[in-house]
Structure 1
């Protein structure tokens, strides 16, 4: 028996024009599309809904996407987003209510747009993610020597994450690639941004697009936290670098700032007493590590630099293995931390 959601989604798609006029009343029809600013019904041209087409497959009626945020889906997804509904049960209830209305409901109130690449857009995309286990993203990480990382709460997977090339048209269909989502948060655990890494599903390697990584939201001062901030913390640039360090030092909270510039500006918990700075062995990496170390020392935080043998700690992990990485790290740690962070 077909799931009721599929039946209702098709019923909505059969009258996509009426759905759009009701839920996206600040938009307008342009050819085969309904154009509006975003799912919050703001005026604009970022979000478009296909009004006509087959009932399923490519070009299906009722399919929509937002060029600014990468969000997309069917009309049930659209109703959930516009009404800020978080469960399928409530979404179906709202859709059934709409379908039996003899007249369109009053125009919805307009809200301030989320804005291209905003923290709100990042939170919406994060909510569309799923666990990493068994996905292309997990395969990619395992290929990088990063096994047993699917449990990290800061990581999710999106099977069809939109990728917009530079200079795309609002009506252009985007590419879709599987993507690793890395959640950027502040020191209170509030999401402020997101990093997306796209993959080729055939090879489980990075997708053949440039750049294959993009960030959205507010990154400055924030990062991808692998563990909760504590009085002893490690900080570095790249996600794979800090995942590698976290595998080697499993009891040490770590944060990936995602770039050299963002590492130098990373905010540290007020309770931090010792900071391990994972140095990338290139000029930008060394400069960023120095800037962060100086800021930390000015706050009377003890700074310990962790230096890899190669370019970064993921290079070391893949080249020499986990045991050798631990051997290399052990003499660099403060004496009181060695027994806590490393297994016997």
Structure 2
């Protein structure tokens, strides 16, 4: 009975190894471990636990790293890098265009110039130049924005999704890929919506800022929806329709990509959306306190830890789900092929 119990515990420890490894070597490893066990031993030794779990996790990391070298990841990175840069450029352009009573700062112009350079380099196929400029944009955030954490914590936290999007853009552009790979993956029909949609969104925001009524102008009642202002509900819904059309064009362009590429683009961009959602959902009270307390209220260390850990955890979870999904599809395809090869009874 003790030998059976020891075997079960060894097999639980071997679960740290990838299933491909266990399928081939598990029985042999268990036999070796049992042969080296002491008479009457019921539990694995502490050293065995450490060695087996450590080796299993290292094997999983090696398998996972090989998975990221698949061509689909390179294709997805090329598209994601271009899309992220366009979104950052649109955001920077919106800040420069501003609205009534607000003039652009030197930092706003710097952002526009920087992301224009990244976009031009990416579209021209100069991947290393685009990646270098994108990483320079990430460093610029640390130089220009991070020092304001003590005095303006809400501003710093509000810019974190943009920082993460810049990291995604820089990381995606750093992934080795053939020259102008994004154009080859997208094609002209998909590339045009991806390039025009952020520009359209920025133009709609500027038009709304320029033409929207203001409360101090005595223009009477007006309608507001998520920061959009219009004198009539019809005009407001026209703005909404414009944003919806731009989003739909991007969605259709991405949906028509091959499924492996489409899944990986979602995995790369999902951390940005999740981080923005976490900030909006969990820090609303903290933001309100900063607005009304009369002095900055710093984030607690656990809150900073959540903001730092959410993006990598989201990415790794998404990558794991994609891998399992594709492995399941592969096994189903193999099963169907085997069924077709069997002769009819």
Instruction: Give TM-score scaled by structure 2 length.
Output: 0.20
Instruction: Give TM-score scaled by structure 1 length.
Output: 0.20
More strand per residue: 1
> Which structure is larger by alpha-carbon Rg, 1 or 2?
2
Structure number with the bigger relative contact order (C-alpha 8 A, sep ≥ 6) is 2
More helix per residue: 2
